[in-house]
Amino acid sequence: MTLAVLFPGQGSQSVGMGRVFYETSAAAKAVFEEADDALGMHLTRLIFEGPEPDLALTANTQPAVLTASVAAAAVCAERGLGPALGAGHSLGEYSALVVAGALSFADAVRVVRKRGEFMQDAVPVGAGAMAAVMGLDADAVGDVCREAAAGEVVEVANINSAGQIVIAGHRGAVERAVKLAAMRGGRKCTILPVSAPFHSSLMAPAAERLAAELGAVEVRDPSFPVARNVDGELTRSASDVKPFLLRQVASPVRWTDCVRRLSAEGATAFVEVGPGRVLTGLLKRILDGARGYSIEDPDGLEKTLAALGARA
């Protein structure tokens, strides 16, 4: 069995995530405490107690999801669950790189908090939007975006599966694209409740500001290859870490390519580590017959260990 770990991104957060791990694992508790120390704030209290609107702020969500994910991975390591490959959706790529040892957790949690601030600041609130389009492939959605742009920006932002594409850009252009996609046969074409047009070219100012933050951190060769959002290829050396994390901010998340690359590299089981089960659901739409498991709490960990043990 070759195990690949998958780490969730923004949108998977919930108040209370990771609390049971914190209460039952010294390794997980240490991760939460390190986050508080690194940021100089009570992030753990916000994660466990909310309020939800504050947790949903991008600058809080990103370090919170990273922390909950790395804490869950620490518990997995305690139980001997070691990956051979990894990937993470958007923010989750940082989680994967931390677990692979390419970034220290303290550096990563500080960087992603700034990343959240910079991404939110890149476009005035209300000026940008994102939308999900179901039932059309990436090429068809790309055509819709080009026709709907009318001098504004609207682009493919996430290729989550063959029939689930997310677009981002100026609000008016996104709204026009949603209407056009529905006319072209798209299903459930809806504006998403997010505060900025992430992973579009409108995020270029955020990437420029993030360069200074990433430039100050030390990177190392990852202990296992990590599939990159930008191109679906693998980061195997320290030299690839910073350039691709910078490109990622204003580039589409090619999640389908990431998962297929992990499979091509020999992954035979996939475990989503951290809050939510979004990636586990997408996995089955990308790979026929894929074995996917999720670990967001001790119950999920026990079930995953039992299933992998039975199938190893």
Q: Which residues are designated catalytic?
A: 90, 199
The CA distance from 207 to 286, in Å, is 29
- Residue 57 to residues 24, 31, 54, 190, 295, Cα–Cα distance (Å): 28, 21, 5, 21, 24
Helix ranges restricted to H, 43-137: 43-49, 52-55, 58-78, 92-99, 105-121
Tokens (6 digits) for 277:
């089960």
Q: Using alpha carbons only, what angle is made at residue 124 by residues 123 and 129, rounded to the nearest 5 degrees?
A: 70
CB 101 within 8 A of CB 77: no
Quote the strand ranges of 139-240, DSSP E: 154-161, 164-170, 187-191, 226-227, 234-235
The CA distance from 91 to 82, in Å, is 21
The CA distance from 155 to 134, in Å, is 15
The CA distance from 43 to 235, in Å, is 30
The CA distance from 82 to 63, in Å, is 23
Residue 254, Cα to own-chain centre: how many angstroms?
11
Q: Are strands 3-7 and 269-273 parallel, antiparallel or unpaired?
A: parallel
Sheet order of strands, 187-191 included: 154-161, 164-170, 128-134, 187-191
Quote the strand ranges of 201-268, DSSP E: 226-227, 234-235
